[in-house]
Amino acid sequence: MSILRREIRQWAVPAIAHYAETPFTVLISCILSLRTQDATTVAASDRLFAVANTAKTMLAIPVETIEKLIYPVAFYRVKARTIPEICRQLFDRFGGEVPSDLEDLLSLPGVGRKTANIVVTIAFRKKGIAVDTHVHRISNRLGYVKTKTADDTEMALRRKLPEKYWIVYNDLLVAYGQNLCKPISPFCSRCKIATFCRRVGVKTRR
């Protein structure tokens, strides 16, 4: 973990880290990021939050306007409908505030375990492990876990990973996965943790 902390300093921080001002901006930027590249997520989040950065102001925007602001994120039409519904439920159920409880977050439309854990860890600094495709892939590639799905990886990490690393684990592995430990043909020759890696499933490498 100390090696990873040093290595990721050379790369840009993941998109969600740009929007840690409030739990609401963390939540909505994470929704926008799903199946979307970081550069697109950042641009869309900037446009959207320039117009509305609270649940109250977001509800004042027509869905069609949200669509235009967040295009071309993946599934932008679905997300443009989901975001106001999240805002409505925040007012109906949580006094207009984003909840800090994982199960409450999971009850919101469009919020899965990765998003809920990101909000819990980044916005509230509470223990959680956010597992996306990079965390799932690298954890298995290292041989640290042996799992089939991201949810399985989260549960395996909760059992095995020391709690002091839970909050930072996602940021470290996302940055590493985006820049070096690629899905296909990773840069093993440049990897500073290669001696700890079993290279599970790696068929070609650089």
Q: Summarize pLDDT for 47-85 with one digit per residue, the tens.
A: 999 999 999 999 999 999 999 999 999 999 999 999 999
Give me the chain's average pLDDT, please.
96
In a domain, 79, yes or no: yes
Single pTM value for the model:
0.92
Write out the catalytic residue numbers.
Answer: 114, 132
d(CA 89, CA 96): 8
Domain co-membership, 115 together with 151: no
pLDDT confidence of residue 18: 87
Instruction: Please indicate, yes or no, whether residues 187 and 134 belong to a single structural domain of this protein.
Output: yes
Query: What average pLDDT does range 186-198 have in this prediction?
Result: 96
**Residues of the domain holding 176:** 130-196
Inside any domain, residue 8: no
Report yes or no on 62 lying in a domain: yes
Give the domain CATH number at 38. 1.10.340.30
Asked if the model's pLDDT at residue 110 lies above 90, the reply is: yes
pLDDT at 194: 96
- Based on the domain organization, do 135 and 93 belong to the same domain? no
Total tally of structural domains belonging to the chain: 2
Q: What is the DSSP secondary-structure string of the chain? A: -HHHHHHGGGSPPPGGGGG-SSHHHHHHHHHHHTTS-HHHHHHHHHHHHHH--SHHHHHTS-HHHHHHHHTTSTTHHHHHHHHHHHHHHHHHHHTTS----HHHHHTSTT--HHHHHHIIIIIT--S-----HHHHHHHHHTTS---SSHHHHHHHHHHHS-GGGHHHHHHHHHHHHHHTS-SSS--GGG-TTGGG---TT-----
| Confidence band of 14 (pLDDT split at 50, 70, 90) | confident
Residue 1 within any structural domain of the chain: no
